Chains A and B, each alone.
Chain A
Amino acid sequence: MKSTNIALRGLGFIAIALVVIFPFWVTSTANPESYLNVMITAGTSAVLTLSLNICMGYGGLLSLAHTGMQMMGGYAIGLAMLNYDINPWIGILIAAAASTIFSILMITISLRATYLYFGMITLAANLIAMESFRTALGNDGMITEIYRPAWGGVDLSTRQFYFLTMGILAIAYLVQRNTILSGFGRATMALRESTDTASALGVSPNVQRVKIFAIAGGLAGVAGAILAMQGSFMSPEIGDMGGGLIFFVGLFLGGVGTLVGPVAGVALIAAIDFEIRFSGAYRTLILGALLLLCMMVLPRGIVGTFRASRLGSPHELKEEPDTSGEEIITVSSGVAGETAIEAIDVVKHFGGIKAVDGVSISIRRGRVHGIIGPNGSGKSTLVSCITRYHQLTSGEVKFFGAQMPKTPHKVARAGVTRVFQIPHLFERVSVRDNVLTGMYLQEKYTWIEAVLRLPRYSKGTRAEEKQAAALLHIVGLGKKSEIAAANLSHGQKRLLEIVRAVSSRPKVLILDEPATGLTQGELESLHNLILFLKNEGLAVVLIEHNVDFLMGLADIVTVLESGKVIAEERPEAVRNDPRVIEAYLGRTDISELMGE
């Protein structure tokens, strides 16, 4: 373990120790209750900021309804308590449930909305929720006399309530950490980077978004419950966006998309807020200005800046990790030569442009199927049609004799993985995590198992990490497994992307111009990798402009021009086919003159 990590862990323990001794330390002061209440408020804010971090920082979902979710939780526990005399302990769960339902409703309405629109819909929903409580409940929506839970027949004292809040904060932090570090979290981050790539790895974008937003909603609801019990009231103003600024400030100050950032940021903000507590109406002004300043001076926040620095970022390993004895499982059993994909008369028109105009192609296991053709001949479009990124104009695609599923992520689940022409790595996460994201489809454990770290999760994760190390070893990236993918060279990124695709154990692997921009050494690595996969029984589709590279690998080559197949034969035959030469070089007589 690195010395920085030990130092950080030490810092964490000191922070926890301080939180534990704090109530005993302030008993000697004039008004210990007020100090405890400041800390309880900060703890509640931290829970809400963790929730905001999950959906904004990791999920890439712009939520402007977090104060509303909190309000929803507060009203749920308050109304349950006052109208149905529900026990506060159960009330906390009811608050979480109510807020989860509210967030699920919001996100189902707005699944089609892009990022900005999504944020605005949440904001509108927030305002409507506030207005509804104000109108429906009378007394301007104010409800009072919400009480705290009891322990052993006595209501919790402020000190006990303090420990309850900190306990809930610890749980919220663990929920966040364990969610993000699991396959569930990797799928979420994949979605944040690119919907297309996430789909190619088998993540269902809509389902994943609903899940992550629901988790954020649940946490926010718990925060609302604590808030209601602490202040013993709930009002629509709690849902006001202006009050929610403090969560954004905390999140940004600490670092968006970092695990500890939200807590660190809120702690700092709470300290500042405590200092300016007598400024009254100037509070919002000061916080607003602070937020703008923080964005300019510390754009990544405290934790984010530290992580990006030399001290805080992971280094390359000294030597390749030993992965001998680890068997690499790439593909499930099957017969070589069996037809995997059968595309029949595929047609795709964009307006008047006939990008793919009646192509039939059959892709078999244990073969490398090359596709070449001049620019604009429809190679990538054909692949997009097969993998359902495009709707077909007409024609049909079969997968092992059955109908190919209709959406990209279902195609991926069936066993067709695609590597895009432009690199689509998850740049901000480590090389190893990129590969682990590819294993999403093999993960057997549920979100709950990941959060509680149950045996199935631990066993699965250990096995995955070994697989990932072995796969990275093949392409010589073992040393770099800890560093962020953004720091790799272009060629290494391409190799990593292919490794990630392979780690999903597909039956068919589609590579779109993988050799572009690779050095000679990297080309050899790629060549060996593809050969290895083919011998394992994978069907490999290889779209490539580097003809030499392709000819050395392909068992059969399909030549496309203007959306039509002009030749499909063995590589040697393609080289001498006059139609192919004409397509590439124009008239045959001229190309002959040029000595081709």
Chain B
Amino acid sequence: MNLQALFDGLFSGAIYGLVALTLTITYQPTRIMNFAQGETFVLGAAVGFEIIGVRKWPWPVGLAIMLVIAVIMGLIMERMVILPVQLSGSRFAWIIATLAAALIFQSIFSLRYVGDTLSFPPFIDKTFSVGSARISAQQIIAIIVSLLIIAIYDQFLRRTIHGRAMRATAHNPDTAIILGVPTKRLVVGAFVGSAVLGALAGFLWCPENGINPATGLSFTISGFTAAVIGGVGSPRGALFGGLIVGLLNSIAGAIFGGIASGIAVFVALGLILVLKPAGLFGKPIEGH
């Protein structure tokens, strides 16, 4: 067993889990799978790159600015997606709207960072060796933060009144309105929350593996694959799905080379959809 692949897989798996969680957060009250979610990921990396990488400001400042901009992006994205969907009424509206949003953000990022790979120095520049394998402090921090966030969101859904409102809306938005759940505000909140967490995921990922500003969509897809494998709607599912995708990716890549990693994940996705369409932890979801 390749220890390095295991470490790398755990790290990327935790991040994918976080992205899967953000997709779940917006999916639950809206039934919209947001293709533009990966752009928040790129945003986190981009702000880190500009503030910490280029201007050399300290990490906490970068983090704070990143959070503020992510909130704004969440608000903008909510309007960009929800407004056309409401006005259109087509069953494909959500996909077209989120795809358009994704491409708009993607071209903005590409225009601003022509030819750059987004990267910046880690918070703690330290690396530990375990045998021949190495794991960095950044990776450990990322894993811990992702686990914490997913655990907190899980408890939020189960324990708090807002969490229950969220679950009620996911189940049946019309009934939720009748029961007095402010679904509109909930939707805005979901978009903002997932934008913040998505940006955080990119912010944690970036110092370890720099990212190309045009690759937001591929993070959306990794996150979605994780969410489906784990079961859309379940935070635990997001975490396990993320870990499965991350580990499969890195281990299959280490053993069989680059192309195998993508295929291994695709095969896993196919198997899950055939054997357990609701995912490992999920309840069956219906199409639009």
A-to-B contact residues, CB < 8 Å: 56, 60, 62, 64, 109-110, 112-117, 119-121, 123-125, 127-128, 131-132, 135-136, 241-242, 245, 248, 252, 256, 281-282, 284-285, 287-289, 291-292, 295-296, 299-300
When chains A and B are docked, how far (Å) is the Cα of A56 from the Cα of B96? 12
Cβ-based interface call for B97 (8 A): yes
Distance in Å: Cβ of A241 to nearest Cβ of chain B: 6
Q: How far is the CA of A241 from the CA of B220 in the complex (A)?
A: 13
Interfacial chain B residues near A282, Cβ < 8 Å: 107, 111
Nearest-Cβ distance from residue B170 to partner chain A, whole angstroms: 14
Contacts of B90 in A (CB 8 A): 252, 256, 295, 299-300
Are B258 and A117 in touch, CB under 8 angstroms?
A: no
Q: Please pick, from A125, A127, A245, the residue contacting B218 in the complex, using a CB distance under 8 A.
A: A127
Report yes or no: B97 in contact with A281, Cβ–Cβ below 8 A.
Answer: no
Which of B83, B85, B259, B277 interacts with A132 by CB under 8 Å?
Answer: B259
- Once bound together, how far apart are the Cα atoms of A56 and B288, in whole Å? 13
Q: Which of A62, A110, A117, A132 contacts B92 (CB 8 A)?
A: A62
Interface-located stretch among B66-74, B124-132, B193-201, B268-276 = B268-276
Q: Given A256-B92, A295-B87, A295-B88, is A120 in contact with B111 using a C-beta cutoff of 8 Å?
A: no
A120 with B262: CB separation less than 8 A: no
Check A292 against B277 for contact (C-beta < 8 Å).
Answer: no
CB pair B92–A56 under 8 Å, yes or no, is yes
Mask of B21-46 contacts with A, CB within 8 angstroms, 1/0? 00000000000010000000000000
Interface residue B61 (Cβ < 8 Å from any Cβ of A): no
In the complex, whether B287 has a CB less than 8 A from a CB of chain A is yes
Known: A116-B33, A120-B228, A295-B93. A110 touches B270 (CB 8 A): yes
Is B176's CB within 8 Å of the partner chain A? no
Least CB separation from A113: chain B residue: B273
Mostly, the A contact residues are helix
B136 interface residue (CB < 8 Å to A):
no
Tell me whether B210 is interfacial, beta carbon within 8 Å: no
Find A291's partner among B87, B96, B110, B258 (CB 8 Å cutoff): B96
* Cβ–Cβ < 8 Å partners of A64 in chain B: 95
Q: B111 to nearest A CB, angstroms? A: 5
Which chain B residues lie closer than 8 Å to A115 at the CB level?
A: 287-288
B-side interface size class: 35 or more
B285 touches A245 (CB 8 A): no
- Cα distance A288–B107 when bound, in Å? 9
Interface of B, secondary structure class, is: helix
Measured CB to CB, the closest approach of chain A to B168, in angstroms, equals 21
Minimum distance in angstroms from A177 CB to a CB of chain B:
21
B250 sits at the interface (CB 8 A):
no
B288 and chain A: residue at smallest CB distance: A115
Question: Are A121 and B108 neighbours in the complex by a CB distance under 8 Å?
Answer: no
Shortest Cβ gap from B48 to chain A (Å): 23
Report the nearest B residue to A118, measured CB to CB.
B287
Residues of A within 8 A of B288 (CB): 115-116
A284 and B277 contacting across the interface, CB-CB below 8 Å: no
Verify A135–B80 contact, CB threshold 8 A.
Answer: no
Task: Check A284 against B269 for contact (C-beta < 8 Å).
Answer: no
A–B Cβ pairs within 8 angstroms, 14 of them:
A112-B274, A115-B288, A124-B266, A125-B266, A128-B262, A128-B266, A248-B96, A252-B90, A256-B90, A285-B107, A288-B101, A289-B104, A292-B80, A295-B97
Say yes or no for B63: interface residue by CB 8 A criterion: no
B88 x A128 contact (CB < 8 A): no
Q: A117-B228, A120-B224, A299-B87 are in contact. Are A288 and B103 (CB under 8 A)?
A: yes
Say whether, besides A116-B287, A116-B288, A131 and B111 are in contact (CB < 8 Å): no
* Chain A minimum-CB-distance residue to B271: A109
- Determine the distance from Cα of A209 to Cα of B287 in the docked complex, in whole angstroms: 16
Q: Is the CB of B111 within 8 A of A281?
A: yes
* Closest chain A residue to B103, Cβ basis: A288
The answer on a CB contact under 8 Å between B103 and A245 is yes
Which residues of B are found within 8 Å of A252, using beta-carbon distances? 90, 96
Residue in chain B with minimal CB distance to A135: B259
Q: Which residues of B contact A300 (CB under 8 A)?
A: 90
Known: A115-B287, A121-B269. A292 touches B84 (CB 8 A): yes
Cβ contact of B107, chosen from A119, A127, A281, cutoff 8 A? A281
User: Quick one: which of A56, A112, A242 contacts B103, CB cutoff 8 A?
Assistant: A242
Q: Output the nearest chain B residue to A299 by Cβ-Cβ distance.
A: B88
Over the window 198-218 of chain B, the binary record of Cβ atoms lying under 8 Å from chain A Cβ atoms (1 yes, 0 no) is 000000000000000010011
| Inter-subunit contact A296/B87 (CB<8 Å) | yes
- In whole angstroms, what is the CA distance A270 to B114 when docked? 26
- Whole-angstrom CA separation of A115 from B103 in the bound complex: 22
**Additional 11 contacts, C-beta under 8 A, given A284-B104, A285-B108:** A62-B95, A112-B274, A116-B285, A117-B273, A121-B269, A121-B273, A125-B266, A128-B266, A132-B259, A135-B259, A296-B83
